[in-house]
Amino acid sequence: MINGERLISRPLRWAMVGGGRTGQVGYKHRTGALRDGNYQLVAGAFDLDAEMGRDFGVNLGVAAERCYPDYRALIAGETARKDGIDVVSIATPNFTHYEITKACLEAGLHVICEKPLFFTVAECDEVARLAEQKGLIVGVTYGYTGHPLVHQMAAMVKKGMLGDIRIVDLQYTHGFNAGDDVGAGEAVKWRTNPRTAGPTFVLGDIGTHLYYLSEIVLPHMKVERLLCDRKAFIPTRAPLEDHATVLMHYDNGARGRLWVSSVNAGNMGSQRYRFIGSRASLEWSDSRPDQLIYQVQGEPERILHHGMPYLEEESLAIDRMGALHTEGLGDSWSNIYLWIAQAIDAANRGDRAFLKTHHYPGIAAGTEGVRWLENCVRSADAGATWVDFA
């Protein structure tokens, strides 16, 4: 069980780029990072509007002189200080991730970056080489993948409790973009423009969460071929999609079906995962994250609750609240930030042995998401045809 006790040698001096007052994801980062005292927020370039960013930073408790107008000033100012930052989180629109990540790594700073990591696999590979060369960590934040019941699913699959995996059914949908974008806010504007969002809208925005979580649960399975059909129901969003379905063939013969949509009017179901094996199935949804449905063929359905002693050690070890008390998205983010802090701490100490076995969402997790997106786009743009996964 995780109880906030420090698991690294010293707290990391931490800064954020983006995640300002109006940013959607910024507070999730701060919730995750500040929970266990592994990070101290000491600097930031929180907003495109420098004045608002400064005011916001000061209200977060950051010294005014360490609230910078942009990421370049942040890097210059902090690398000149003896007590400068160790790590930067990047919570800005997609098109800025690559340049900010590169600049931070070149300055010797560890990075925690939002998904989708970059626009292309070539960019991911280049940055992975740079991070390796510098001995620095790049972490990626897929929100729910630190939840104890996600790791319960992985442990049950690994133990063979489902039998052979046959069907993977993934859904992340909502209806917040069911209407047109007239008068839409910044977060919708940049998401629906290929220059700022990259080659996809909902596939990258929400589909990459599904794909990475399924990789955690099914690390032994690889996608061999896929077919992606995407559409912009609101035509101004084309060539990007607000709705897509992806069929996947896995190397063990399993079949996958993934549905992402931001035009599922009225739907608040958000994420749903179903893993179907030859003997049993698991189903988990973020609308009831504390409960995991376990169905064995021919037996009554069971609902497993987080924190209960009947769960696998892999799940209990990362539980925070204990059974009876709700464990949710904030707890998951805290685990993700803890795992990345442990990786950074090990890198700082030159502990390569620890890094070899330590599980955390690193650059490979970001790269695989981008690779999956490239394959989806290739298939969709060829008229929704099957493509070999490259």
307: left (phi > 0), else alpha (psi -120 to 50), else beta? left
Shortest Cβ distance from residue 114 to ligand NAI (Å)? 4
Q: Which helix (H) or strand (E) covers residue 100, if one does?
A: helix 97-106
Distance between the two ends of the chain, CA-based, in angstroms?
39
Beta carbon nearer to ligand NAI, 119 or 250:
119
Identity of the residue numbered 260: V
Shortest Cβ distance from residue 336 to ligand NAI (Å)? 9
Beta carbon nearer to ligand NAI, 307 or 362:
362
With contact defined as beta carbons under 8 Å apart, do 44 and 67 qualify?
yes
Q: Which residues bind ligand NAI (CB under 6 A)?
A: 17-20, 22-25, 45, 47-48, 70-71, 91-94, 96, 114-115, 141, 143, 186-187, 205
Q: Which helix (H) or strand (E) covers residue 332, if one does?
A: helix 329-349
How many residues in total does the chain contain? 390
Beta carbon nearer to ligand NAI, 76 or 303:
76
Alpha-carbon span 126 to 249, nearest angstrom: 29
Shortest Cβ distance from residue 161 to ligand NAI (Å)? 29
Shortest Cβ distance from residue 17 to ligand NAI (Å)? 5
Shortest Cβ distance from residue 23 to ligand NAI (Å)? 3
- The two structure tokens encoding residue 125: 């590979």
- The two structure tokens encoding residue 170: 């993934």
Beta carbon nearer to ligand NAI, 42 or 276:
42
Beta carbon nearer to ligand NAI, 22 or 40:
22
DSSP-based three-state secondary structure for 356: helix
Which residue(s) pair with 15 in the sheet?
43, 88
Beta carbon nearer to ligand NAI, 115 or 371:
115
Shortest Cβ distance from residue 213 to ligand NAI (Å)? 11
Shortest Cβ distance from residue 207 to ligand NAI (Å)? 11
108: left (phi > 0), else alpha (psi -120 to 50), else beta? left
Q: What does the DSSP assignment read for 197-217?
A: H-S-SHIIIIIHHHHHHHHHH
Beta carbon nearer to ligand NAI, 149 or 203:
203
Q: What is the three-state SS of 143-174?
A: HHHHCHHHHHHHHHHHCCCCCCEEEEEEEEEC
